[in-house]
């Protein structure tokens, strides 16, 4: 029976993910992964033809982690507020992963509308739609505007040494949510 491999594909991906999380995705390469695992680059290159293949897997892992963080909704919380806060909190706490997911030109050639129409976003939109009492199209219009506000806050925190203060952000988000939903219901906001 051949010996069990010392370094596995999963170990390589875990090491690459942790490097991206701690140092940034630009630091993910065969040498840094090998150093993290205490091996040569040979096992890394055995399992993956190109470092870009590893980076794509790391992106998928980061996306799954971010989605889990985003959808962690306390029972007694306003789901729209909780999702917005979770997005901002993720950026503040996981700066490198946030940059990988949302500031690495991963959406090249797409419009904001295309992003909002993505099937992966439907669970979030469904929560917003139910909470706001809007049609799906109205919900998408409100969400598009809210996304810009929330993403702006998140980007500020991910790219600067700033303090994340939920007590400062919550009233701003509540005002924006309430105002946009009210405006949409009054049909004053263009879709």
- CATH classification of the domain holding 20: 1.10.10.60
Q: Are 128 and 144 in contact (CB under 8 A)?
A: no
Q: Do 50 and 76 lie in a common domain?
A: no
Question: Residues 181, 134: contact at Cβ < 8 Å?
Answer: yes
Whether 66 is in a domain gets the answer no
Domain count along the chain: 2
Residues 150 and 191 in one domain: yes
Taking residue 139's Cβ as centre, other Cβ atoms within 10 Å add up to: 23
Residues 49 and 91 in one domain: no
181 and 129, same structural domain?
Answer: yes
- 185: its two tokens: 């219901």
pLDDT value of position 40: 93
| CA–CA dist 79, 83 (Å, integer) | 6
H helices, E strands: number in the chain: 10, 0
User: What pLDDT does 191 receive?
Assistant: 54
Same structural domain for residues 179 and 113?
Answer: yes
- Mean pLDDT by runs of 10 across the 191 residues of the chain is 78 98 96 96 93 96 95 89 94 96 82 88 90 91 92 93 90 92 75 54
- Are residue 56 and residue 75 in the same domain, yes or no? no
Q: Are residues 47 and 92 in the same domain?
A: no
One domain for residues 94 and 162: yes
Residue 84 and residue 8 in one domain: no
- CA dist., res. 3 & res. 26, Å (int): 34
Residue 177 forms part of a structural domain: yes
Residues 100 and 174 in one domain: yes
Per the domain annotation, does 11 fall within a domain? yes
Among 38, 61, 84, the domain-final residue is 61
Which pLDDT score is estimated for 84?
93
Task: Check: CB of residue 16 under 8 Å from CB of residue 54.
Answer: yes
Is residue 86 included in any domain, yes or no? Answer: yes
Predicted TM-score of the model (pTM): 0.86
CA 191/CA 188 separation, integer angstroms: 9
For residue 8, being part of any structural domain is answered with: yes
Same domain, yes or no, for 155 and 93? Answer: yes
29 domain-assigned: yes
Residue 190 domain-assigned (yes or no): yes
Domain, as residue range, for 141? 71-191
Give Dmax over CA atoms of the chain in angstroms: 72
Claim to verify: residue 56 and residue 102 sit in the same structural domain:
no
């Amino acid at each position: 029976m051949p010996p069990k491999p010392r370094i596995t594909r999963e170990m390589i991906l875990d090491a690459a993910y942790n490097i991206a999380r701690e140092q940034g995705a630009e630091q993910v390469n065969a040498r840094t992964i090998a150093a993290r695992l205490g091996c040569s680059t040979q096992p890394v290159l055995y399992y993956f033809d190109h470092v870009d293949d590893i980076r794509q897997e790391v992106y998928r892992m980061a996306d799954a982690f971010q989605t889990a963080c985003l959808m962690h909704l306390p029972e007694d919380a306003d789901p729209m507020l909780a999702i917005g806060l979770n997005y901002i909190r993720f950026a503040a706490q996981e700066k490198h992963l946030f940059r990988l997911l949302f500031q690495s030109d991963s959406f090249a050639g797409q419009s904001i509308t295309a992003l909002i129409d993505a099937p992966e976003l439907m669970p979030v939109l469904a929560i917003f739609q139910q909470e706001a009492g809007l049609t799906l199209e109205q919900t998408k219009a409100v969400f598009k505007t809210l996304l810009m506000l929330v993403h702006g806050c998140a980007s500020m925190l991910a790219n600067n040494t700033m303090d994340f203060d939920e007590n400062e952000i919550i009233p701003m988000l509540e005002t924006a949510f309430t105002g946009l939903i009210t405006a949409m219901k009054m049909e004053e906001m263009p879709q």
